[in-house]
Amino acid sequence: MKSRAIQTGFFAVACTMAAVQTQAAPVDFSNLVEQVSPAVVSVNVVKKMTQEELLQQQIPEILKRFFGNQVIIPQQQAPQEKTAYGSAFFISKDGYLLTNHHVVEDASKVTIMFNDRRELDATVVGSDERTDVALLKVNGTNFPSLRAGNVDQLRVGEPVLAIGSPFGFDYSASAGIVSAKMRNMMGETSVPFIQTDVALNPGNSGGALVDSRGALIGINTAIISKSGGNNGIGFAIPIAMVQDVVTKLVADGKVTRGYLGVAIGDVDNELAKVYKRKEGALIVDISADTPASKYGLKRGDLIYAIYGKAVKDRTSLQNTIASFKPEEKIVLQVERDRKDIDLNIVL
């Protein structure tokens, strides 16, 4: 028994040593930062202050304490300007950059700054509030740019790197992992966000999220935090969605989307017993005088594919429909009364 106890003890020690030896070494991002950071810039924006912001400036602090914000200021002042900051990155050598819509919204002037302190005025080519994507352009050539990665191949748990200008501190890098994919944030259903645990702060908006190979996988756009700081959950717009928006902004300066005219839901466990499939977008309601009503969609229809491409859920349907232009013809694969039918619809 004594000998067996010694052997058991030795086995436990050996297992512990093996665990220590096989523990993964920390990921070194230094080479990746050197590779990616030249394509990332700071964005300085001049905006006109809103009426509410002007009132906040005008109300004396002592009145705020007693009356809150319900103080009426009789005189009107001329609109004033404020400065804001964010991040952006080059996607082409001829001067196109991506940032967030909310970074440059209502901007009267946009300036980008490189890590060598050079500054260039930027033009807002176009901006899309729905996806929170904006396209900028500066004059020049041979800018360092990022190459797009494949979000479909991105795995949960994979290391990622964010570079931006949190609180105006240029070229700050923070690392983490992919926490989830296809995440809807705060009821938002139009963007299948990449969720990360990367530390993000004000100023990181519009910065690049890259994978361990240096490929661009998303635009950092938001963080949910109870503290108001980086102790929270970060979200990035997938580059695959951004590419479609960029194509439309370059062509037209704005984004137009196909419209179907339906209210939709997902297939839960109970509905999966009624339908032949566990995935798809369920038609809950149809608006009058819309393509859906005109071309024969019905409540209870389950859209499971468009042109043979699978529709997994309502977000998948919304994004696919939005990728088409108005007046385009599409073919929906629909399950109705447990039978599969095709519907031709002009958006």
The set of catalytic residues is 102, 132, 205
Which among 292, 323, 332 is positioned nearest to 190, based on CA atoms? Answer: 323
- Which distant-in-sequence residues (6+ apart) come within 8 Å of 279 by Cβ? 267, 304, 310, 311, 312, 313
DSSP classification of residue 72: P
Instruction: For residue 191, give both structure tokens.
Output: 């963007």
Tokens 């067996």, residue?
4
DSSP string of 318-341, one letter each residue: HHHHHHSPTT-EEEEEEEETTEEE
DSSP SS3 for 198: coil
DSSP SS3 for 291: helix
Which among 290, 288, 314, 289 is positioned nearest to 302, based on CA atoms? Answer: 314
Q: Would you state the torsion angle of the CA atoms of residues 227, 232, 233, 236, taken in this order, to the nearest 10 degrees? A: 70
Instruction: For residue 292, give both structure tokens.
Output: 């859906």
